[in-house]
Amino acid sequence: MLRHAIIGCGRVAPNHIDAFAAVDGWEVALVCDEKPRAAAFAAEYAVPAWTDRAEDVLADDDITSVSVAVGHHAHADLVEAALRAGKHVIVEKPFGLDPERSRDLARYAATQDLTLTVVSQHRYDPVVAAVRSWLDEGLLGTVVYATATLQAHRSPDYYSESTWRGRRAGEGGSALINQGYHCLDVLRWLCGDLEVERAVSRTVALADVIETEDTLCGLLTTSAGAPVLLGITVASAAQWRTRIEIVGTEGSVSFDLDHPGRLHDWHGSPALCERASAEQARGVQEDPPGLAYYGVSHRRQIADFCAAVSEHRAMMFAPLDALGTLATITELYRQGERP
């Protein structure tokens, strides 16, 4: 058995428990939280040991790997400490708050032959994988434009009850870097690197409780110059609704990242329509372990992580690619905050 530990027993931690439980030869052996919640979490998920000190996790030679599932401001220090302790690391998104530091961490992991990955579970969603293969095969032709939107609702309590959300130093932003992260990340996965042309960032509804944005819109371009629109808000009436559209010269598809990820519609050549209706018919009905819109694909990314560690191979994407999402977010904020 390879033994894994989870640092941070908050909202996303059950997704890590669920995913490791599905991998043969691995167990979550230890959980850690600096608040007095690790014991109850360990009891609820039948984890044999818990601690309130990350140092205990990192000093445990029987622990092979760790999940870093804490507030954004603490990612980089914990990832660095875990790598220096010789652990393989899966860190929740975003990679960190400082792209340069994250780049150094990715390089350090590579020099130490340690697997380091940033959670991008929606890249592993079957619908996203299908759309990527259709793009690679040319079934959509040349991308003309793409859009990704998230309408979400976050109450003032969501921020006031947290020690890190809604603060620049804690979360590094809000609507984009937290809730909107996956929309941008999946756009980058499908369309390649994106350049930020213009962004507008505003605090429309939550200015009394957060110092960060609740709404951000960006205009970006692909390396071929196609425009890409991004619209993210946590100030809508809808609790959670994403929509991604890719429009190409030969076909277009529209889908979402919510559970279960599914195609909304498709247009184009008979070859595209045949593949799209087969994908829709196949459907994916899996019960999500955590909040429904986190989806089910932590299972897929964590299975990839475990195989990479056990078989000493690369994962589906490298940490430097996740760094691209962080760098794009940083640039969207820089431009968005211009008066």
Ligand X SMILES: NC(=O)c1ccc[n+]([C@@H]2O[C@H](COP(=O)([O-])OP(=O)(O)OC[C@H]3O[C@@H](n4cnc5c(N)ncnc54)[C@H](O)[C@@H]3O)[C@@H](O)[C@H]2O)c1
Q: By CB under 6 A, is residue 27 in contact with ligand X?
A: no
Binding ligand X (rule: CB under 6 A), the pick from 2, 21, 22, 34 is 34
User: Minimal CA–CA distance to 75: which of 65, 63, 89, 87?
Assistant: 89
Decide if 301 contacts 120 (C-beta within 8 A).
yes
Q: By CB under 6 A, is residue 172 in contact with ligand X?
A: no
Nearer to ligand X, 35 or 198 (CB): 35
Q: By CB under 6 A, is residue 92 in contact with ligand X?
A: yes
Report the nearest approach of ligand X to the CB of residue 32 (Å). Answer: 5
Binding ligand X (rule: CB under 6 A), the pick from 2, 45, 71, 235 is 71
Distance, in Å, from the CA atom of 234 to the CA atom of 242, rounded to the nearest integer, reads 12
Q: By CB under 6 A, is residue 30 in contact with ligand X?
A: no
Report the nearest approach of ligand X to the CB of residue 251 (Å). Answer: 29
Distance, in Å, from the CA atom of 306 to the CA atom of 297, rounded to the nearest integer, reads 14
Decide if 116 contacts 89 (C-beta within 8 A).
yes
Q: By CB under 6 A, is residue 257 in contact with ligand X?
A: no
DSSP SS3 for 165: coil
Give the neighbor-by-neighbor strand order of the sheet with 263-268. 194-202, 215-222, 227-233, 143-153, 235-248, 251-255, 263-268
Phi and psi (nearest 5°) for 226?
A: -70, 135
Decide if 58 contacts 91 (C-beta within 8 A).
no
**Residue for token digits 């690679």?**
136
Report the nearest approach of ligand X to the CB of residue 40 (Å). Answer: 11
Binding to ligand X by CB under 6 A, coded x per residue (else -) over 287-326, reads: -------x--------------------------------
Nearer to ligand X, 178 or 236 (CB): 178
Residue nearest ligand X, Cβ-based: 10
3-state secondary structure 80-141: HHHHHCCCEEEECCCCCCCHHHHHHHHHHHHHCCCCEEECCHHHHCHHHHHHHHHHHCCCCC
Binding ligand X (rule: CB under 6 A), the pick from 93, 154, 167, 300 is 93
Q: By CB under 6 A, is residue 69 in contact with ligand X?
A: yes
Q: By CB under 6 A, is residue 33 in contact with ligand X?
A: yes
Binding ligand X (rule: CB under 6 A), the pick from 29, 32, 105, 191 is 32
Q: Which of these ranges, 21-29, 67-75, 201-209, 213-221, lies near ligand X under the rule CB under 6 A?
A: 67-75
User: Minimal CA–CA distance to 177: which of 220, 213, 222?
Assistant: 213
Q: By CB under 6 A, is residue 72 in contact with ligand X?
A: yes
Q: By CB under 6 A, is residue 196 in contact with ligand X?
A: no
Q: Which of these ranges, 4-12, 80-88, 187-195, 321-329, lies near ligand X under the rule CB under 6 A?
A: 4-12
Q: By CB under 6 A, is residue 87 in contact with ligand X?
A: no
**Residue for token digits 């905050």?**
337
Nearer to ligand X, 74 or 228 (CB): 74
CA distances (Å), origin 261, targets 16, 86, 126, 231, 280: 19, 36, 8, 19, 10
Q: By CB under 6 A, is residue 184 in contact with ligand X?
A: no
Binding ligand X (rule: CB under 6 A), the pick from 28, 29, 74, 322 is 74
Q: Cβ–Cβ contacts within 10 Å for residue 27, how many?
A: 14
User: Minimal CA–CA distance to 332: which of 232, 236, 255?
Assistant: 232
Binding ligand X (rule: CB under 6 A), the pick from 54, 127, 139, 306 is 54
Residues 115-144 that bind ligand X (CB under 6 A): 119, 121
Would you tell me which residues interact with ligand X (CB under 6 A)? Answer: 7-12, 32-35, 37, 54, 69-72, 74, 78, 92-93, 119, 121, 162, 178, 294
